[in-house]
Amino acid sequence: MSLVPGGLRYTKNHEWVRLEVGVATVGITDHAQHELTEIVFVEVPKVGKKVRKGEVLGVVESVKTVAEIYSPVSGEVVETNLALEESPQFINESPYEKGWIAAVRVSEGSESGELMSPESYKKMLGE
């Protein structure tokens, strides 16, 4: 059973979102990191990059595969987790704290209302 913290929002692509005063911090869920297995490389976006909902925000590479991370909101990247460049295993060890990928300043009228609640995400996972 995957860890699905309350207080976050989720996407069908297994990204989590912490919304705080117009900024969405984004990472991949516990379920996603289990599926990917050992993460060996993370490509984070550049600060200042403008992203639209559904566009590639970053890339996670594991011993099994390469997976794209999609932005769950539209906006501008205001911070990235550069610690992942040296320690990509943070996503496996702590997907919701040390393993965050980027913070995006959400555009006006962004689509954050389309994100799933923890309950909806658990239902999607079949838990």
- The structure tokens listed for 56 are 């590639």
What is the reported pLDDT for 69?
Answer: 96
**Residues in contact with 118: Cβ distance below 8 Å, sequence separation at least 6, in sequence order:** 4, 5, 6, 7, 8, 10
DSSP 55: S
- The structure tokens listed for 21 are 């005063």
What is the reported pLDDT for 65?
Answer: 95
Mean pLDDT of the chain: 94
Domain boundaries defined on the chain: 9-109
Confidence of residue 36 (pLDDT cuts 50, 70, 90): very high
Confidence of residue 1 (pLDDT cuts 50, 70, 90): low
CATH architecture designation of domain 9-109: Beta Barrel (2.40)
Q: What is the pLDDT of residues 87-118, one digit of tens each?
A: 999 999 999 999 999 999 998 765 667 899 99
Q: What's the pTM?
A: 0.93
